[in-house]
């Protein structure tokens, strides 16, 4: 007995089988084409539109991600650089309650966060630094370091703001494309049942629908 592609298969593989089935059914014509159009045409049409949108968005998406990654790396380096400067200014004591407030989990509390949230974390760091929390950190240095953090934060925020709508749109389109593939797989299964009900043999049906035998 032949097998259709499984619902957990790769999305591209599912679309390949749906397209092959639809093309073969149209080639055979008659009830084959009629049933295929009934079950597959709508899914393929919408999936094609979604894929077109994804393809058009891809250059912007790749560019936005690259810029975001670049600014994120720069921001991380700035936080680590300022942390090092502050440690030097405050004599790098083994136990320092003031530094534990500025960097409660080390620099990671500001760098190892979702990039979309990192500018807000960096603003908190700048606020803590400029409030001259540490008695060994000169006021002018505190203001200078806070300004350095804010400059990097602003640059990262600009990249986040530019990337956010593109990333959101790409995420929704990708999820929709994947959901349509799963729907298409279900329609492929229903199509096979319909052709069997029409009296066609398993072997004949799988001349139209690619056979995906399980191992």
pLDDT tens digits for 56-93? 999 999 999 999 999 999 999 999 999 999 999 888 77
Task: Give Rg (Cα) of the chain.
Answer: 29
- Which of 12, 9, 33 is CA-nearest to residue 21? 33
pLDDT score of 105 more than 90: no
Torsions phi, psi for 106 (to 5 deg) = 70, -165
* Rama region for 199: left / alpha / beta (φ>0; ψ in -120 to 50; rest): left
pLDDT > 90: percent of the chain: 85
Averaged confidence pLDDT in the chain: 95
Identify which has the larger pLDDT, 90 or 187.
Answer: 187
pLDDT > 70: percent of the chain: 99
Burial letters 177-201, b for 16+ CB under 10 A, else e: beebbebbbebbbebbebbeeeebe
Strand partners, 110: none
pLDDT score of 215 more than 80: no
Residue 100: band (very low, low, confident or very high) from pLDDT cuts 50, 70, 90: confident
pLDDT score of 102 more than 70: yes
* CA–CA gap between residue 25 and residue 8 (Å, rounded): 24
């Amino acid at each position: 007995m032949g097998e259709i592609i499984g619902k957990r298969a790769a999305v591209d593989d599912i679309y390949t089988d749906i397209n092959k089935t639809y093309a073969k059914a149209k080639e055979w014509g008659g009830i084959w084409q009629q049933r295929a159009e009934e079950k597959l045409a709508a899914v393929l049409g919408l999936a094609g539109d979604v894929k077109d949108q994804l393809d058009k968005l891809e250059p912007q998406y790749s560019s936005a991600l690259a810029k975001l990654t670049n600014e994120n790396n720069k921001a991380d380096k700035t936080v680590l650089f300022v942390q090092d400067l502050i440690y030097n200014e405050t004599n790098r004591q083994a136990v320092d309650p003031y530094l534990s407030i500025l960097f409660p989990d080390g620099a990671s509390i500001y760098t190892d966060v979702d990039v979309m949230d990192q500018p807000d974390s960096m603003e908190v760091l700048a606020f803590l630094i400029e409030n001259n929390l540490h008695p060994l950190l000169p006021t002018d240095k505190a203001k200078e370091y806070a300004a350095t953090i804010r400059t990097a934060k602003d640059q990262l925020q600009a990249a986040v703001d530019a990337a956010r709508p593109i990333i959101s749109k790409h995420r929704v389109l990708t999820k929709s494309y994947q959901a349509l593939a799963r729907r298409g797989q279900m329609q492929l299964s229903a199509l096979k049942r319909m052709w069997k009900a029409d009296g066609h043999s398993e072997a004949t049906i799988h001349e139209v629908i690619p056979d995906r035998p399980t191992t």
